Amino acid sequence: MKGALILTTAALLAGIAHADPGDLTGDALKGRTLAQQECAQCHRVSSTALPPKLLHAGPAFGDIANSASITPTSLFVFLHSSHPPMPNIVLTQEESADVIAYIISLRRSRL
């Protein structure tokens, strides 16, 4: 898991100069709906969702949200960068902002 996180972070940093996140203010409820439709085949998108039944499932959205290096900008870059084996899902600016708002909403308090 740590190796995958390191690779994910490296991919994010490599693509950050090429991304234009613009306004990342999104609607977390719309993002949750989109995540359930588009992402749940490979990711556990909520704490109540069953884990995906794929051999190479992606990380749970809660784990992504609680990674220290995750920011709205880094999520935008990741969503708009190629990173096999994840399919290249084409999201509009608004859809990206909504999914990012949803993922960030899963972050546990860091008190």
pLDDT tens string 13-57? 444 444 455 667 899 999 999 999 999 888 889 888 777 776 667
**Model confidence pLDDT, tens digit, residues 82-108:** 877 788 888 999 999 999 999 999 998
How many whole angstroms separate alpha carbon 31 and alpha carbon 56?
23
CA nearest neighbour of 4 among 79, 72, 84: 84
The answer to whether the pTM exceeds 0.85 is: no
Q: Which has more pLDDT, 41 or 4?
A: 41
Kindly report the number of other CB atoms within 10 A of residue 35's CB atom: 21
**pLDDT value, residue 56:** 65
The percent of residues above 90 in pLDDT, for the chain, comes to: 41
29 in a domain, yes or no? yes
**pLDDT value, residue 8:** 54
Domain of 46, in residue numbers: 2-18+25-105
86 in a domain, yes or no? yes
**pLDDT value, residue 52:** 77
**What is the CA angle 61-67-72, rounded to 5?**
75
110 in a domain, yes or no? no
**CATH number of the domain to which 100 belongs:** 1.10.760
Tally the domains of the chain: 1
**pLDDT value, residue 87:** 81
How many whole angstroms separate alpha carbon 79 and alpha carbon 90?
9
- Reading the block at residue 50, the tokens are 């069953």
Q: Which has more pLDDT, 23 or 58?
A: 58
